[in-house]
Chain A
């Protein structure tokens, strides 16, 4: 039996199992549609089971658009793995491997070595959430960077273990409520600070490490393209709001992500060989309360009666001010690539893209 007819038979079997009509001879599985004629490669397609307004699904698709079709992915356990690949379907349009929570970087290392051995140029990407990157897969990631594999590692940072039910991770920001750092009489949410992962990554002296946000897709995609062009280990952390875990309306995902950047709590920086080489300046710096007040995970900080809330708000403001100072985020005058200019659009697209 040829591979072709074997495939057809398997498809018929699957269609029957899911109650769909068998294909007529010569019928295409999907009719030609505008979806098939999109002007950008959509490596992560519809039908995935992410929640409404998922920042991670958006971030992954934006990365795939710029990384292009000739890539393969090693994906750590996490929301992204679960919602894109419920058997027997896949939302991915590229080769994709999932093994465990802790070893995406190790699997990617092996895939890259195999490509090298076969003389192929297909770029290997490794995807993980903040749990799989900041915590569980951290030593595998460090090893991958140290061994200098040609892999782009993307961390989708939604600041908690969302897949298993919103447990705190080392990426959860200070004083956010999670199921394992609940706000109450004893504590105002998470006691500890968000781990400064980018500095640790930068300490590996890799060619390129950067942070990006779903609120600034053009900036995000520029960083992906830059990293794709580097022969060596590169790292990207993308701030990806989770409406369920952060407790905000699903329509506000972009607004929340934008305010995180505008208040200084999530600085967008680029680090090459351990040195800070670029930042996105903030045009109009917002107070952190603008960011905190639209999320349920910080609602306990909005209690005007509680003096502890005031103290924590001041603490978070100090952390944001610290970032602004350390990374020189305060812009001087309007700049086409600051937070204001990067957002600007015009007829037929993003302003910066047209210029």
Chain B
């Protein structure tokens, strides 16, 4: 008796001789890699879908290696990033966005605990050496990405420690020193990066020297210069700018005492300061912001620019927020402020096509206060950068940050159009890629203009309900000045969270196409096919019914205009 295996294969006289592929009339299936919305939204250029896919396979180290291809500082960004990825997540409409920042932080911490090696090789001894000004997130990211491209990097930092604003202006309740120090030192210890501390541009080293010594110079000095603040010329005698106050607190724990405080601004500095003042004993802390609070009626571009979690915690702690408002007048008694007049305003399109903030007459009201703290942003310190600073910032001419002078780039906050750690990290990656291509005599890298996969492109039938993992959090009473408020979600929850990733626009290897094709025209392979999936379309037999595309959960299969007929195996 003939024994047959599961894969038994008959040959003569089979219908395989009849190529039904020539029945296909209008459309054929194709694998299309669309961008997952998290990836499209990430200012650091992370592909969250790609590293979640590795986690789904159970490989945490591979997931971390995929993550640090774009962002070398996940333990830091997992703590401080406002995570626009979660705002974009397609799962939000189903049962809550993925807890991306919690898993990112867990991966970063895992890497530190286990000493996982960054996936970069030491550059050649004679590799070109890029000069970088500033060891904040932009500068460190740029140095790291130079290594990834086989270049060396030398960083010039004015302060005695690396970290920039991460170290100077983020309270320990958000970013404890331990992970900050561990992650920064791991990156800066990579062979090929030289760090020169206490080296200030314009004092210890000049831009001309740098440009002479390095084939390319990346400027990431951040914003250090305060902007003058007054309301119609009135300036309180004890006026202190918010960022400086925050830096003093982070440095040596100093905070002013005042019963009733008004903080004017709409960023993380303002929010951090409000919460610190409240915790240090101020009875009434009010944030006045020209932006709006997140909500269905607020345009995303008009939303207050803070980490959503921070906003939520601030409200828990009793911070009062007056949105869509500005300080119209300071009420002074001598040179001390005793009250502020607040006026409602809105961002409205003007005749010139640009948005303007319009104040509404008749909405003025007076609030009694003891102190006003402006947190209205800083500008680039022009020392050593003469001629480059334009209206307060270094204003680059392209997306790579190139200034209009050869291989000179501006990165991070100094560009004036940034404002997050993630954007600074993304700038570092972009500038390094452009420098590497330039030094190799090639054109700039191409823009990834793949379309984004919208919620409507998914087939949600195939995703079961899985609730979002919640990270532990200190209650309002437990919060102090130096304990981190949000906790670690841990391995079990991180792995469970990975299972929730919809894999938008990318193959989930779920077998649906292979299972549902009535014509066996989808072939499963052991090897990964060139397009990154495990499936091939056998267009010799595909009749173009479109079932595979309709039943593909992730939108990875789409129907394209037909290439006619049987193709003898070639796609």
Contacts and interface: CB of A to CB of B under 8 A. Distances in A.
Nearest to B508: A347
A26 interface: no
B546 A35 contact: no
Contacts of A258: 461
Interface string A32-56: 0111111111101111111111110
B8 A52 contact: no
A53 B542 CA distance: 10
Given A58-B516, A88-B13, A254 B547 contact: yes
Looking at B5, B8, B11, B536, which has the most chain A CB atoms within 10 Å of its CB? Answer: B8
A255 B550 contact: yes
A170 B135 CA distance: 79
A249 B520 contact: no
B116 interface: no
A22 interface: no
B20 A29 contact: no
Interface of B: 4-20, 23, 53, 56-57, 461-465, 499, 503, 508-512, 515-521, 523-526, 536, 538, 540-541, 543-547, 549-551, 553, 559, 569
20 contacts: A29-B11, A30-B16, A36-B7, A39-B6, A40-B6, A45-B15, A47-B18, A47-B19, A52-B544, A54-B518, A69-B4, A89-B17, A243-B545, A250-B547, A251-B545, A251-B546, A255-B550, A334-B465, A347-B503, A350-B511
Interface stretch (A106-114, A156-164, A197-205, A338-346): A338-346
Contact of B510 (A53, A55, A84, A350): A350
Looking at chain B's contact residues, is the secondary structure mostly helix, strand, loop, or mixed?
loop
Contacts of B551: 254
A349 B553 CA distance: 12
Nearest to A37: B7
A182 interface: no
A11 interface: yes
Interface string A73-97: 0000000000010101111010000
A61 B5 CA distance: 17
A345 B13 contact: no
Given A35-B538, A69-B6, A340-B465, A52 B23 contact: yes
Interface in A208-261: 217, 243, 249-255, 258
A294 B244 CA distance: 64
A70 B4 contact: yes
B301 to A, nearest CB: 35
B9 A93 contact: yes
Nearest to B550: A251
Contact of B519 (A39, A46, A68, A345): A46
Given A258-B461, A343-B461, 15 more contacts: A11-B13, A14-B13, A29-B12, A34-B525, A41-B7, A45-B14, A46-B15, A69-B6, A90-B13, A90-B14, A250-B545, A345-B510, A345-B511, A346-B499, A351-B464
Contact of B20 (A39, A46, A62): A46
A347 B11 contact: no
B103 to A, nearest CB: 15
A190 B536 CA distance: 43
Contacts of B16: 30, 45-47
Given A58-B518, A347-B56, A18 B17 contact: yes
B519 A50 contact: yes
Contacts of B549: 251
Contact of B462 (A57, A217, A251, A343): A343
Contacts of B538: 35, 46
B10 A93 contact: yes
Contact of A47 (B15, B462, B508, B526): B15
Contacts of A304: none
Contacts of B6: 39-41, 68-69
Contact of A61 (B14, B20, B518): B518
A217 B4 contact: no
Contact of B12 (A7, A58, A345): A7
B518 A50 contact: yes
Contacts of B569: 33
A345 B553 contact: yes
A344 B8 contact: no
A28 interface: yes
A39 B9 CA distance: 12
A68 B515 CA distance: 16
B509 A340 contact: no
A53 B15 contact: no
A346 to B, nearest CB: 6
B461 A89 contact: no
Contacts of B544: 52
Contacts of A61: 518, 520
A307 interface: no
Contacts of B511: 345, 348-350
B20 A346 contact: no
Contacts of B503: 347
B510 A250 contact: no
B547 A49 contact: no
Contacts of B550: 251-252, 254-255
B534 to A, nearest CB: 9
Contacts of B464: 334, 336, 340-341, 343-344, 351
Looking at B464, B524, B526, which has the most chain A CB atoms within 10 Å of its CB? Answer: B464
A254 B509 contact: no
Contact of B521 (A38, A46, A84): A46
A346 B508 contact: yes
A347 B53 contact: yes
Given A35-B523, A53-B545, A47 B17 contact: yes
A84 B15 contact: yes
A86 B15 CA distance: 8
B13 A69 contact: no
A248 B516 CA distance: 17
B508 A57 contact: no
Contacts of A11: 12-13
Contact of A91 (B14, B57, B461): B14
A339 B511 CA distance: 18
Contacts of B20: 46-49
Contacts of B465: 334, 340
Interface string A297-330: 0000000000000000000000000000000000
A346 B56 contact: yes
A52 B543 contact: yes
A36 B9 contact: yes
Nearest to B511: A349
Given A47-B17, A344-B463, A346-B499, A52 B525 contact: no
B520 A46 contact: yes
Contacts of A41: 6-8
Contacts of B8: 41, 69, 93
Looking at A14, A84, A349, which has the most chain B CB atoms within 10 Å of its CB? Answer: A349
A42 B5 CA distance: 11
B87 to A, nearest CB: 24
Nearest to A8: B12
A55 B518 contact: yes
B517 to A, nearest CB: 8
A341 B461 CA distance: 10
B566 to A, nearest CB: 11
Given A50-B518, A69-B6, A93-B9, A345 B545 contact: no
A34 B462 contact: no
Give me the 4 closest cross-chain CB pairs, A-B, nearest first.
A47-B15, A251-B546, A344-B464, A53-B545
A86 B17 CA distance: 12
A42 B519 contact: no
A44 B519 CA distance: 9
A38 B7 contact: yes
B7 A34 contact: no
A65 to B, nearest CB: 9
B520 A345 contact: no
A70 B518 CA distance: 22
Contacts of B524: 34, 38-39
